[in-house]
Amino acid sequence: MFGGRYAQVTAVRRKTGEIEFFEVKKQGQPGLKWLSKIPLVRGIVALVLASASGAKHLQFASDMFERDHDEEAESADETVQENQSSSKWGMILGVAMVGILSLLIGKMVFTALPAFLASILFDRFVHSMFLQSLIEGAIKTILLLAYLWGISFTPLIKRVFQYHGAEHKVITAFERGEELTVTNVQKHSTLHYRCGSSFIILSIIVGVILYSFFTYHSVWDRILIRLALIPLVIGLSYELLRMTNAVKDIPILAWLGYPGLWLQKLTTKEPTDDQVEVAIAAFNRMRELDAQAEARLANGVQRTTPAFN
């Protein structure tokens, strides 16, 4: 999936070999437009929108996968397909909500569990607030790595991570001004500096620093404070992500983005040539749609927000 200024495109390879696109044009939601300009708030808006659209694009991919499987079992039933397309928009709204809900629940579990474990295991021995916060961050990191490592063995997630690697390769090739052919794209690394993975690491670091300013009196106290701070942690991490993107060419400051690159060693995998081909197709289609939109709005609004992909 690629997100441009005006359009998001997901491409999937069908069983027949052809590549199919799922395109969502970004509408200028007036309510969100001014929210997206306020520091701290814009990070929350971006994350919620990314979860909603991410879920929609994943749903499309798995629909295509299922349809291919059904077609394999017996030839496609026209009436079933018609029903599917008529309920598509209702489905998409529901899927977006599921995306946002799973973000919320995931965020709460990943916030509460490390706070709980750090309290149970270390409250008796460690009395420095900062050290406690650091231990909590370390537990969170271990849980995250174990989780990512664990799910990377399932065939579906493995493919998702391969496509993630393919996306990064395509972007790198494009940024270097190379022609987007499979050979050109494949020779690049699956790691890319501007990636949503960096956001996760940054939010752990922001948490460590922020939490050490808040005293608590019990485990539950601690967990509640952490949960209440989630919006602030997201907002600050996003601002930090924008900053690391802005300073990536300054030698020492570029280190700020390195933890995110290390995490990508787990969230990306080497794609096959076939997957790279699909990624190139999605990227080209996104560029096409963007160019069309740009032509329509001769003086298009500039967007410089980092993408979560």
* Closest separation in Å from C-beta 2 to Zn ion: 11
Complex with Zn ion: residue 103 or 195, whichever CB lies closer: 195
* Closest separation in Å from C-beta 47 to Zn ion: 14
* Closest separation in Å from C-beta 204 to Zn ion: 17
* Closest separation in Å from C-beta 146 to Zn ion: 20
| Residues between 189 and 248 that touch Zn ion (CB under 5 A) | 195
DSSP string, the chain: -EE-SSEEEEEEE-TTS-EEEEEEEPP--HHHHHHTTSTTHHHHHHHHHHHHHHHHHHHHHHHHHHHHHHHHHSPPPHHHHHHHHHTHHHHHHHHHHHHHHHHHHHHHHHHHHHHHHHHHHHTTT---HHHHHHHHHHHHHHHHHHHHHHHTTSHHHHHHHHHHHHHHHHHHHHHTT----HHHHHTS-S--SS-HHHHHHHHHHHHHHHHTT---SSHHHHHHHHHHHHHHHHHHHHHHHHHHHHTTTSTTGGGGGHHHHHHHHHH--PPPHHHHHHHHHHHHHHHHHHHHHHHHSTTPPP--PPP--
Complex with Zn ion: residue 9 or 195, whichever CB lies closer: 195
* Closest separation in Å from C-beta 229 to Zn ion: 26
| Residues between 178 and 197 that touch Zn ion (CB under 5 A) | 195
Complex with Zn ion: residue 48 or 261, whichever CB lies closer: 261
Residue at token pair 């209440």: 228
* Closest separation in Å from C-beta 156 to Zn ion: 18
* Closest separation in Å from C-beta 293 to Zn ion: 23
Complex with Zn ion: residue 114 or 259, whichever CB lies closer: 259
Complex with Zn ion: residue 141 or 190, whichever CB lies closer: 190
Q: Could you tell me the two tokens for 72?
A: 């394999």
Complex with Zn ion: residue 39 or 106, whichever CB lies closer: 106
The number of residues that bind Zn ion (CB under 5 A) is 1
Complex with Zn ion: residue 3 or 114, whichever CB lies closer: 3
Contacts with Zn ion, residue ranges (CB under 5 A): 195
